[in-house]
């Protein structure tokens, strides 16, 4: 018989501490759907997605029942659409058609988001890339479920500053086009450095070219469980706290491994990876910031936050790695401001600034996430924020990302409300000194040295 205490502990984690599977994401390759006729390509894409993901949501619901664990999101990621756009003659290339078909396929399969309206341009633009990037604002304002990402830098290639400059404008335009919908277009764009091919989390998920035809990736969650575990460790030394986080992360990840491998088996596709993540929600008790505060900080953002977050992130990985046969994706603690009750509170009380947030992203997954800035922020400043974040990723050999929302018509101190899991973001203060001349130079920042690393 299984130990009763273990059973009750699991139930407490699910019921009181918000333990859940954050997402089961089906990655689908669209390489065999490419056609020089855009309408034929769209038809093939629709048929492939709706066939491959026919039972995706149904299996997710069955597993929720079987294991009694909530599976919050069922999603799809696809091959970067810029690859399909590249095959279409320039004169006929209207990438928004791809966005419309992705949205339709997502609706048909019952998933809430589909990622992959993406381009990888870290070294330069190839055919289809520029058309796709320029169409992002229209694509996101005319669809409901499509998410977009652009990789503008990598440790091996450096940072494409032309793309960085362009993305500042694209984000602003996406926010303007969706101004009457909480500027939500900008919340569906992620700008990456060192993007990964197997990320199950939106908005940055896409299905890399090195992936199998169809694959299941899983993202787990559980900040509330970790916070509750740390809360029992008042006055104990920090190494004991790290040990406790590792133990807890092991349990959380084992559950992800079980559900992911069962989902893959039921769907008859390979199981890809578990993303070892601590993904917060705006729900009380499901905050990464509150874990940091439980470790001993008065407020998230106080001095010591970066160190505590480094410990948390490392312990989550160490505990999780042993629990899963394949680990991947972004793997680390997420710190999305609007989606984390503790982060929102820290910004409102003045404890957490954009600068401190940037420092935090150097030691955790994944970057400046769901950060709301004033609507009149110039595109060059948004580009420069992206450049800084990409530089952290490039130099430290890690993924970093920017998902920033200019709140059109709003000023610092006001709040942009997205609702649901996306929460609400206080408009943060931005350094207004201009980086325009730097951004407007264009070009490419050379890749950094991989030796002499001090």
* Site residues (vs other proteins, CB under 8 A): 1-4, 6-11, 15, 62, 65-69, 251, 254-255, 257-258, 262
- Please tell me the distance from the alpha carbon of residue 397 to that of residue 408, in angstroms, as a whole number: 34
Q: How far is the CB of 275 from other proteins (least distance, A)?
A: 17
Choose between 207 and 251: whose C-beta lies nearer to other proteins: 251
> Of the two residues 82 and 221, which places its CB atom closer to other proteins in the complex?
221
Taking the complex as a whole, the smallest distance from the CB of residue 228 to other proteins amounts, in Å, to 15
Residue with Cβ nearer other proteins (144 or 262): 262
Least separation in angstroms between residue 121's CB and other proteins is: 41
- Contact call for residues 336 and 369 (beta carbons, < 8 A): yes
Whether the Cβ atoms of residue 109 and residue 102 lie closer than 8 Å to each other: no
| Nearest partner of 114 among 216, 27, 56, judged by Cα | 27
What dihedral angle (degrees, nearest 10) is formed by the CA atoms of 129, 135, 137, 143? -110
Q: How far is the CB of 1 from other proteins (least distance, A)?
A: 5
Measured from the Cβ of residue 90, the count of other Cβ atoms closer than 10 Å reads 11
Nearest to 132, CA basis, from 80, 202, 69? 80
Provide, rounded to whole angstroms, the least separation between the CB of residue 407 and other proteins: 41
In angstroms, give the least distance from the CB of 345 to other proteins.
Answer: 30
Residue 6 or 355 with smaller CB distance to other proteins: 6
Nearer to other proteins, 199 or 253 (CB): 253
- Cβ proximity to other proteins, 222 vs 301, nearer residue: 222
274, 366, 260: which is closest to 321 by C-alpha?
Answer: 274
Nearest approach, Cβ of residue 231 and other proteins (Å): 20
366 vs 371: CA distance, rounded Å: 13
Q: Which of 62/243 has CB closer to other proteins?
A: 62
Q: Which of 9, 20, 12 is nearest to 283 (CA)?
A: 20
Q: How many Å apart are CA 391 and CA 105, to the nearest integer? A: 36
* CB closer to other proteins out of 185 and 222: 222
d(CA 192, CA 206): 12
Residue 401's Cβ-side half-sphere holds a number of Cα atoms within 13 Å equal to 29
* DSSP 3-state of 348: helix
Which residues share a beta bridge with 160?
A: 444
Q: What count of Cα atoms within 13 Å lies in the side-chain half-sphere of residue 449?
A: 4
CB within 8 Å of 439: residues ≥ 6 apart? 161, 164, 165, 168, 380, 383, 384, 387
Question: Which residue number, 8 or 31, has a Cβ lying nearer to other proteins?
Answer: 8
Please identify, using beta-carbon distances, which residue of 55 and 396 lies nearer to other proteins: 55
User: Least distance in Å: CB of 259 to other proteins?
Assistant: 8
| Residues 6+ away with beta carbon under 8 Å from 294 | 227, 230, 231
Residue 12 C-beta: closest distance to other proteins, Å = 10
Residue 62: CB minimum distance to other proteins, A:
7
């Amino acid at each position: 018989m299984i130990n009763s205490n273990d059973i009750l502990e699991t139930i407490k984690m699910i019921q009181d501490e918000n333990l859940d599977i954050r997402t089961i994401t089906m990655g689908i390759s669209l390489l065999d759907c490419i056609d020089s006729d855009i309408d034929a390509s769209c038809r093939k894409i629709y048929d492939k997605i709706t066939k491959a993901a026919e039972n995706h949501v149904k299996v997710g619901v069955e597993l929720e029942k079987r294991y009694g664990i909530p599976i919050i999101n069922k999603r799809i990621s696809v091959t970067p659409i810029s690859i399909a756009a590249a095959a279409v003659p320039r004169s006929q290339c209207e990438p928004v058609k791809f966005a419309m078909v992705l949205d339709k396929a997502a609706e048909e399969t019952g998933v809430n988001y589909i990622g992959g309206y993406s381009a990888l341009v870290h070294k330069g633009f190839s055919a289809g890339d520029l058309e796709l990037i320029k169409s992002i604002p229209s694509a996101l304002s005319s669809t409901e479920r499509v998410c977009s990402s652009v990789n503008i830098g990598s440790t091996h290639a450096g940072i494409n500053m032309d793309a960085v400059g362009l993305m500042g404008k694209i984000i602003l335009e996406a926010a303007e086009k969706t101004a009457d919908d909480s500027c939500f277009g900008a919340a569906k764009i992620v700008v990456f450095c060192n993007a990964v091919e197997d990320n199950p989390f939106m908005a940055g998920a896409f299905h890399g070219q090195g992936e199998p035809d169809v694959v299941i990736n899983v993202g787990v969650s559980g900040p509330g469980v970790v916070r509750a575990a740390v809360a029992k460790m008042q006055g104990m030394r920090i190494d004991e706290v790290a040990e406790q986080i590792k133990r807890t992360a092991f349990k959380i990840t084992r559950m992800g491994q079980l559900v992911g491998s069962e989902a893959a088996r039921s769907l008859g596709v390979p199981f890809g990876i578990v993303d070892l993540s601590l993904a917060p929600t705006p729900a009380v008790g499901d905050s990464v910031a509150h874990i940091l505060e439980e470790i001993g900080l008065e407020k998230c953002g106080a001095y010591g936050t970066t160190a505590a977050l480094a410990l948390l992130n490392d312990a989550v990985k160490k505990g999780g790695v042993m629990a899963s046969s394949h680990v991947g994706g972004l793997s680390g603690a997420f710190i999305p401001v609007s989606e984390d009750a503790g982060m929102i509170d820290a910004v409102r009380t003045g404890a957490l600034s954009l600068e401190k947030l940037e420092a935090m992203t150097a030691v955790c997954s994944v970057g400046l996430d769901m950060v709301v800035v004033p609507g009149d922020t110039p595109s060059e400043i948004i580009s420069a924020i992206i450049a800084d974040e990409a530089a952290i990723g490039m130099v430290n050999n890690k993924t970093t990302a920017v998902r920033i929302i200019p709140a059109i018509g709003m000023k610092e101190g006001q709040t942009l409300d997205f609702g649901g899991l996306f929460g609400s973001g206080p408009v943060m203060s931005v350094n207004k000194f201009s980086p325009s001349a730097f951004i407007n130079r264009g070009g490419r920042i050379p890749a950094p040295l991989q030796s002499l690393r001090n």
